[in-house]
Chain A
Amino acid sequence: MSKILMISPEKCLGCRSCEIICSFNKTNEFDPKHAAVTVLAYEEAAIAVPMMCMQCENPSCMKVCPVGAIEFKNTGAVVLNDDKCIGCKMCISACPLGNIIYNAKERKMVKCDLCGGEPKCASICPSEAIQYKEATSTNLNKKKIIAEKFKEVFGEVAE
C-alpha cells in the first residue's frame, strides 16, 4: 500500500502553517503565495480548505509535458524534474485542479512532491486537517463515521 495526503476541511483552522512550511522547505524563504499548498477560506461558511496536488494516477500534467519532465516516483508522487523542465507552463494549464503554480521569482513550476515521502504540511498541521496515511478503508473518515452511527444504533451495551 502507499500513503496519500488526505484533507479534512472540517478540521482546518485556516492558520496556513502548511503554506508557510511548504514554501520554506522548497525555497528556504517564507513565501506562502508560492507554496504548493494553498488554504482557501470561506468566511461565511466558516470553513477553510487546504488544496494541493493529489498525485493523479493518470496525470494530465505528465501527458502534456513535451519533454517528459514529469515522472512517477515510488513514493506515489508525481514529480516535476527541474533539470528537464523547459518552463513552457503547459502543465499549469493542463492540471484540472489548478494545483501547479508558477514562481516568477525563481522562474520555475511549483508542485507538491510529497517532500520525498514525508510531507511537511501534514507533519506541521495542528488540527490533523492534512494527514498523510495509508489509503485503507479504515482510514477513510467518512466510512468510519457512518459505521460508528450503526454501532450507536444497533450496538450491544458492553457494561
Chain B
Amino acid sequence: MNIDILLVSLAGVLAAAAPVVFAVIGETISERAGVINLSMNGNILLSAMAAFAVALATDNIALGFLAGMLVGGLVAAVLAFASITLKQSQVAVGFVLALLCRDLSYFLGNPVMGESGPRLSSTPIPFLSGVPLVGPLFFKHDVVTYLSFALIVAAWVFLFRTRPGLVLQGIGERPAAAFARGADVNRLRYFYVIVGGALIGLAGPTYSLSVKAGWKGAISGLDGIGWIALAITIFGGWSPLRAAFGAYLFSLLQWLGLALQPLLPGIPAQVLQVAPFPLMILTLLLVNVGNAEWVERTLARLPEPTRRLLARALRKLRATPPAALGTPFERE
C-alpha cells in the first residue's frame, strides 16, 4: 500500500473517531461527577436526527450542531432530575432514556428520512496541512474533528490542572468531603451531567452532518455506538486521554476489519465490524481484574519478583471508578 493512501486512511480513522471522542469525554465528565449516563445510545441517535432535521430546514449547519447539543443537554437534564432530585436509580432511568430516545429519533425522524442534506466541508489549515506526514494526518479535516482534538486536551487540563476540575473529581469521589468544603454537590452534579450530555449530543451531529452525513432511520448504522462509547469510557479509566485513546483504537480496529476483508474472503463484513468487541471485553477484564479479590490472593502466593512484576502491571492497567459513582448524595 502506498504511503499517501495509508495516510488518507489513517486521517479517516481520526475523523471517524471524532464523534466517539465527544461521547466518551462527555460520559467521562458525567461519571466523574458521580452520575452514569446510560442514555448515550439513544442520546446520540436523537441528537443526530434533530441536528439533521434542523440543518435541513434552516440550511445552517451551525444551527444543526447547536440543536444536537441542546437535545443532548435536555436528555441529560431529565436524567439529572430523575436521579439527583428524585433519587431514582441512574442505571434504570438512563436505560429507559436510551430506548426511548432511540425510538423517538426513528419516529420523529421519519419525515426527513433519506433526504439529502447539508454536510460539513473540510477546512485544511493553511501551511500546517502542507507539512509532510503530519499535515495530511492532522490538518486536513473539518472543524469538528479539530474540535475533537482540542477537547481531549482541554478536558484533561480542566480535570487535572484546574481548581474546578479538582472539585469535579471531589463530588464524584467523596461528595461528603466536597460538600464540607463548600461545594454544592447536587447543583454541580446537575451542571456536569448536562455539560456531559451536551458533549454526547455533539456526537450525533458529527455523524449526521459529517462522518455519516444524512438520516436513514433504523439503518443509519448509529444504533449501538452509544453502547460502545460507554464501554470505551470504562476502558478509558475515567481519564480523557485514555478514553480518547480507546476511541481511536476502536476506530482503527473497525477500519482494519474493513481493510483486511479482501484477505479473509470467507468472513462477511458484518462479522469484522464486531471484531473489536471480544478485544474490548478482554481489555475490560484486564483493567478490572486487578480489583478482584482472588487475584490478590493468588498474587500473594507467587514468588516475590514475579509477584511484584505482575502487581505493577495490573496496577498500571487498573481503572477504578469514581467512588461515589451511581449513588445519590444526601446531606446529613
A binds B: no
Using CB atoms and an 8 Å cutoff, list the residues of chain A in contact with chain B.
none
Using CB atoms and an 8 Å cutoff, list the residues of chain B in contact with chain A.
none
